[in-house]
């Protein structure tokens, strides 16, 4: 039997009224699974500021804590301070602090060019009010100078005041365990939740992986392309692959699982149920 570990779910802010209505239902469905928190992404440079705020306002105070993502690249300290004050006034206690990626065409890194600068700024501005999560990359961030340099950058975020990490999605559990071992050797033992990407649709998955530097192992790519448009076969295969991945991560000591829900109830709900984590 799988050990029970806490779970959390990520949403992105919907672009349309219909999307916002649908997300309310997804939130309800996933809330039954008793997650530790829901997080809501934030477009770099403030590009989704209003929509992220609207989603946070919608779900805050409805039982499960919410955790806004906050990115710093291309933004300025005053605007970030405003958000921190707002979240504090809404009794929000957790923030996912990120650098973000500048939308194409936007130039200028802003006053806080890296996530470590943002973490430091949050601590300076809000003290210990927020529990700060930061991004972790078991397969290395695509712009890092090297794997070792990326590990050092991650440690800088911890030293700046991050409490925990959430990883980019991956399908090779060894990369996660190796990443944890490397951090442990440097004396870093903060909890790092694997980010779990359910397999819903082959072309979207490949697009996300290409954009984030996450690797889709050859055997998964080949199976997905062999299934073509057969969405049932993709769903069944994806469920089995991700379920086994989660089981191995939990058996190997992952402290919790963070699901990239893609604003959909399924297949995340079924994975959580089959893992016995609800």
Known catalytic residues?
10
| Site for ligand FAD, residues 46 to 85, rule: CB under 6 A | 69, 71
According to CB under 6 A, which one of 89, 104, 143, 203 is a site residue for ligand FAD? 143
Bridge partners of residue 63, in order along the sequence = none
Range in contact with ligand FAD (rule: CB under 6 A) among 30-38, 59-67, 142-150, 242-250 = 142-150
| Separation of alpha carbons 210 and 129, rounded Å | 36
Q: Give least dist CB 21 to ligand FAD, A.
A: 22
Assigned token pair, 48: 């989704």
Q: Considering beta carbons, is residue 100 or 267 the nearer one to ligand FAD?
A: 100
CB 101 within 8 A of CB 74: no
Beta strands in the chain (DSSP E): 7-11, 37-40, 66-71, 94-98, 131-136, 164-169, 192-196, 257-260
| Site for ligand FAD, residues 156 to 175, rule: CB under 6 A | 157, 166, 168
Q: Considering beta carbons, is residue 101 or 215 the nearer one to ligand FAD?
A: 101
Range in contact with ligand FAD (rule: CB under 6 A) among 20-28, 36-44, 104-112, 216-224 = 36-44
Let me know how long the chain is.
278
Least Cα distance to 206 among 236, 238, 179 occurs for 238
End-to-end CA distance of the chain: 14
Instruction: Return all residues near 3 (Cβ < 8 A) that are at least 6 apart.
Output: 250, 251
According to CB under 6 A, which one of 9, 11, 38, 42 is a site residue for ligand FAD? 42
CB 52 within 8 A of CB 42: yes
Q: Give least dist CB 230 to ligand FAD, A.
A: 30
Site for ligand FAD (CB under 6 A): how many residues? 25
| Site for ligand FAD, residues 182 to 201, rule: CB under 6 A | 195
| Site for ligand FAD, residues 196 to 225, rule: CB under 6 A | none
What are the residues binding ligand FAD (CB under 6 A)?
Answer: 41-44, 69, 71, 96, 98-101, 114-116, 135, 141, 143-144, 149-150, 153, 157, 166, 168, 195
């Amino acid at each position: 039997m799988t050990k029970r570990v806490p779970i959390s779910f990520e949403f992105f802010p919907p672009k349309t009224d219909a999307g916002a209505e649908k997300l309310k239902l997804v939130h309800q469905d996933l809330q039954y699974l008793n997650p530790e928190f829901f997080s809501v992404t934030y477009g770099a440079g403030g590009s989704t500021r209003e929509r992220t705020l609207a989603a946070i306002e919608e779900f805050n105070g409805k039982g499960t804590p919410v955790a806004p993502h906050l990115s710093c690249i291309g933004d300025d300290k005053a605007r970030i301070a405003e958000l921190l004050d707002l979240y504090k006034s809404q009794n929000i206690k957790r923030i996912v602090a990120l650098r973000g990626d500048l939308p194409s065409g936007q130039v200028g890194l802003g006053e806080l060019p890296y996530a470590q600068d943002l973490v430091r700024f949050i601590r300076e501005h809000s003290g210990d009010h927020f529990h700060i999560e930061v991004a972790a990359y078991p397969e290395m961030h695509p712009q890092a100078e090297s794997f070792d340099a990326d590990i050092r950058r991650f440690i800088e975020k911890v030293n700046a005041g991050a409490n925990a990490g959430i990883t980019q999605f991956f399908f090779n559990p060894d990369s996660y365990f190796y990443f944890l071992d490397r951090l442990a050797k440097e004396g870093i033992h903060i909890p790092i939740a694997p980010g779990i990407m359910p397999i819903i649709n082959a072309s979207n998955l490949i697009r996300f992986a290409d954009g984030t530097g996450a690797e889709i192992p050859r055997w998964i790519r080949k199976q997905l392309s062999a299934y073509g448009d057969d969405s049932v076969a993709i769903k069944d295969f994806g469920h089995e692959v991700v379920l086994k991945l989660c089981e191995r991560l939990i058996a190997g000591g992952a402290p919790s699982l963070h699901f990239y829900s893609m604003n959909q109830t399924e297949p995340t709900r079924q994975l959580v149920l089959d893992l016995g984590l609800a």
